[in-house]
Amino acid sequence: MFKIFVTSKISDSALNILKSVGEVEVWEKEETLNGPALLEKIKDQDAVLSMVNNFITDDILQQASKLKVIGNCGVGYNNIDIASAEKRGIVVTNTPDVLNDATADLTWALILGMARRIVEADHFVREGKFTGWLPHLFIGNMVYGKKLGIIGMGRIGSAVCQRAKGFNMKVYYYNRNPLPKEKEQEYNARYVDLETLLKECDYITIHAPLNEESYHLIGREELHLMKKDAYLINTSRGPLIDEQALYEHLKEGKIAGAALDVYEHEPKIVEGLLALDNVILLPHIGSATYETRTKMAELAANNIANVLSGKEPITPVTKGLKI
Ligand SMILES: NC(=O)C1=CN([C@@H]2O[C@H](COP(=O)(O)OP(=O)(O)OC[C@H]3O[C@@H](n4cnc5c(N)ncnc54)[C@H](O)[C@@H]3O)[C@@H](O)[C@H]2O)C=CC1
Ligand SMILES: O=CC(=O)O
């Protein structure tokens, strides 16, 4: 009987998939498993269904000698040492596509929330400060007809782009490679270099994965290029932005605002950000809808079930089956 460890509570439908191929143990506590505690739990397992905040390092993989497959419940897999897994013949899978719409919707919630000062205005009402309509109360910025900049035009970036049509926006994008011309036409988006995007766009949203090239893609110099009335939105991974530099730009009013779902040293946040009004801070909930989280868990479970029963994984990140 295969032993499968799940690092967080998941849907019953996903658990049932796992139970069809092995004996399942679930970590039920809220506390995130990492380091020695994570190793202790997975060292004798054949499979792990992990979350994006379980850091599966080379050290852990070296000691988890029975491990055959890691089904990461997330599309990003920067929490796993992929080279180490590949070297050891451990299959790693992720959950692409099923979360595109949920993450794109949340990105739009942040764009609109920031532009129209939704969080600030909500606090104002709850604090009993609303005494009647005023012409200057919570003036924000237009989204309709403005220029959107998308950094990372992959699955989620494209879903964000499609939604921009309803807002009649001009879209610029920056990606590792330009899209084919037909796609650019379909999305009504123009490929530009990063500098042009930063200098010209009103709303800049990041959808690239975290890798060696993308670390601090938006640093002090890049922030400096942004317009004073522009907004930065990040629902990808925190380390793509130099968070301290972002804080300084926001505090000094060098850019209009930012909306973040992810942080450089998650779950820690650069302290000063918490005191600023021109930033919206969310607790990494990009894909957090009932439907999406169920689909993600089921896909991760099906990936594990496939590998343990000798079939091809559905959405592999690595290649090479151990069994
Ligand atoms: N906040 C949240 O809860 C969520 C966060 N994410 C994050 O979003 C990321 C993107 O997901 P997908 O769209 O599925 O990925 P994807 O792989 O479909 O798209 C990423 C795009 O970024 C481009 N890219 C890669 N490195 C780049 C660089 N250095 N500069 C510019 N472009 C670069 C790629 O060419 C690709 O087009 C994930 O890796 C994950 O980290 C995804 C889902 C939910
Ligand atoms: O952060 C979430 C993911 O799916 O990646």
* ipTM given for this complex: 0.99
pTM of the model: 0.97
Alpha carbon nearest to ligand 1 atom 5, residue: 236
Rounded CA-CA distance 211/94 in Å is 16
Whether residue 21 contacts residue 309, with contact meaning beta carbons closer than 8 Å, is answered with: yes
Whether residue 144 contacts residue 170, with contact meaning beta carbons closer than 8 Å, is answered with: no
- Fold classification of 2-96+289-308 (topology level): Rossmann fold (3.40.50)
Query: Helix/strand/coil (H, E, C) string of the chain?
Result: CEEEEECCCCCHHHHHHHHCCEEEEECCCCCCCCHHHHHHHHCCCCEEEEECCCCECHHHHHHCCCCCEEEEECCCCCCECHHHHHHCCCEEECCCCCCHHHHHHHHHHHHHHHHCCHHHHHHHHHCCCCCCCCCCCCCCCCCCCCEEEEECCCHHHHHHHHHHHHHCCEEEEECCCCCCHHHHHHHCEEECCHHHHHHHCCEEEECCCCCCCCCCCECHHHHHHCCCCCEEEECCCHHHECHHHHHHHHHCCCCCEEEECCCCECCECCHHHHHCCCEEECCCCCCCCHHHHHHHHHHHHHHHHHHHCCCCCCCECCCCCCC
Residue with tokens 């499968």: 4
| Domain ranges for the chain | 2-96+289-308, 100-281
Q: Which atom of ligand 2 is nearest to the CA of 237?
A: 1
* Selection from 262, 256, 284, 275 nearest residue 143 by Cα: 256
**Measured from the CB, is residue 8 less than 6 Å from ligand 2?**
no
pLDDT tens track for 134-187: 999 999 999 999 999 999 999 999 999 999 999 999 999 999 999 999 999 999
pLDDT tens track for 271-302: 999 999 999 999 999 999 999 999 999 999 99
**CATH topology agreement for domains 2-96+289-308 and 100-281:** yes
pLDDT-derived band at 54, boundaries 50, 70, 90: very high
- What length does the chain have? 323
Q: Which residues line ligand 1 (CB under 6 A)?
A: 75-76, 96, 99, 103, 151-157, 174-176, 207-210, 213-214, 217, 235-237, 261-262, 284, 286-287
**What's the CATH number of domain 100-281, 3.10.20.30, 3.40.50.720, 2.60.120.330, 3.40.190.10?**
3.40.50.720
pLDDT tens track for 24-33: 999 999 999 9
